[in-house]
Amino acid sequence: MTFSHDTVTDAAGTTGPVHYLSTLSLSDAWLDRLRQRHPRVEITQITAEKASDVPDEVWRRTRVLHTGAVFPDARQAPALQWIQLDTSGADHLKGTPTWDLPVPITSIGGISPVPMAEYVMMMVLGLAHRLPRAVAVQQSGVWPSPSERWNTLMPRTLRGATIGVIGYGRIGQEIGRLARAHHMTVLGLKRGRATRPGAFFGAGAPDEAEAEAEIYTPDQLHEFLGRCDYVIVTCPLTDETRGMIDSEALAALKEGAMFVNVARGGIVDEEALLRALRSGRVAGAALDVFDEEPLGADSPWWTEPGVLLTPHVAGFAPDYEEQVLRLVGENIERHLTGSDLLNLVDRGRGY
């Protein structure tokens, strides 16, 4: 579907229609609202799985690309000036020709901190209250004896426990805010104390959240892990973070800690984590992401005792389309006026 408008001259001096292409499946109502906000922008949506699904003439005139995983090469889209991702991370672009295109890339980071933080606390509470074991009891159909109930379903208290968040940005700070409501000590691990990327949708009070957390840097990872009763992974997948939770890191972890990963599977050595679970060093885990997705039917994670598993849903936001509309609409305005784009991906950092 295409909607034509008048030409426009932007801050860079480019004259002509601003052609916006979505390769997603955004609703007609969503597209109409974007048109109402930007009547001078020509909007086209072609739901695509690969670049060849988009006609060459559409690629040639595309100036703004809104996509998750469909990218042209430079020759296909000579007018391209900006890529808006439908993902919070950009790790899938690293090492591809798209990464080297001389155009800005923006993400939807900042849309999911609240639901993701709530998911994390759900899993922390579930692990603390032995939910994997309780589910196994229900599935067995056998009421356990008083001693079995006492020995296998006794919960841990969160009050006074230490939660460590690897990647203490927008999501991590919201997790910290919720964790403090349970009177937990909050540790954050991040790349120094540099100003975090600009947020489009704030959650809580980030400056206050950081001030109330003890901040560690990546070179202090083992010291950090040695203090944690609960470890939460929320950092982006980059060259520096790939495989950072390996056998040595897990050996440094506090004995009997719980582990939650809502970031990317490649950050964690899954075989090392499995060994740590079976040895008892890690007492339980909640995993929403895996190195290979979809998870294979023969994966041991489906049936591993002490593990809560979900199929990459932690970042689902009930008002996702509304928030994306606000973000994309604002960024189109900024693109037209030559202002800084929101959620700009830093290619040096990888996110």
Residue 145 located in a structural domain: yes
Within-domain flag for 347: no
Whether residues 142 and 103 share a domain: the answer is no
Q: Has residue 107 been placed in a domain? A: yes
Single pTM value for the model:
0.85
Is residue 218 one of the residues assigned to a domain? yes
Whether 264 is a known active-site residue: answer yes
**Along the 351 residues of the chain, how does pLDDT read in single tens digits?**
333 334 444 444 555 789 999 999 999 999 999 999 999 899 999 999 999 999 999 999 999 999 999 999 889 999 999 999 999 889 999 889 999 999 999 999 888 899 999 999 999 999 999 999 999 999 999 999 999 999 999 999 999 999 999 999 999 999 999 999 999 999 999 986 543 444 444 444 444 555 589 999 999 999 999 999 999 999 999 999 999 999 999 999 999 999 999 999 999 999 999 999 999 999 999 999 999 999 999 999 999 999 999 999 999 998 889 999 999 999 999 999 999 999 999 999 888
Domains of the chain: total: 2
Please say whether the beta carbons of 144 and 152 come within 8 A.
Answer: yes
312 is catalytic: yes
- Domain membership of residue 331 as a residue range: 2-111+318-337
Same domain, 133 and 40: no
**Same-domain pairing of 88 and 145:** no
Element (H, E) at 126: helix 113-128
Tokens of 244: 């950072």
Based on the domain organization, do 172 and 276 belong to the same domain?
Answer: yes
Catalytic residue among 208, 214, 240, 293: 293
Q: Which of 5, 35, 180, 312 is catalytic?
A: 312
Statement to judge: residues 203 and 94 lie in one domain: no
Q: Could you tell me if 82 and 341 are in contact, meaning their C-beta atoms sit under 8 angstroms apart?
A: yes
Q: Are residues 102 and 119 in the same domain?
A: no
171 shares its domain with 122: yes
Say yes or no: 174 and 292 in one domain: yes
Please tell me whether residues 89 and 125 are part of one structural domain: no
First to last CA, the chain: 32
Assigned domain for 197 exists: yes
Cβ pair 246, 219 in contact under 8 A: no
Is 248 tagged catalytic?
no
Which CATH number does the domain housing residue 31 bear?
A: 3.40.50.720
Q: Are residues 60 and 122 in the same domain?
A: no
Largest CA-CA distance found in the chain, in angstroms, rounded = 77
Let me know whether 333 and 209 are in one domain: no
Of the residues 130, 264, 281, 335, which is catalytic?
A: 264
186 found inside a domain: yes
* Closest among 330, 351, 322 to 111, alpha carbons compared: 322
162 and 217 assigned to the same domain: yes
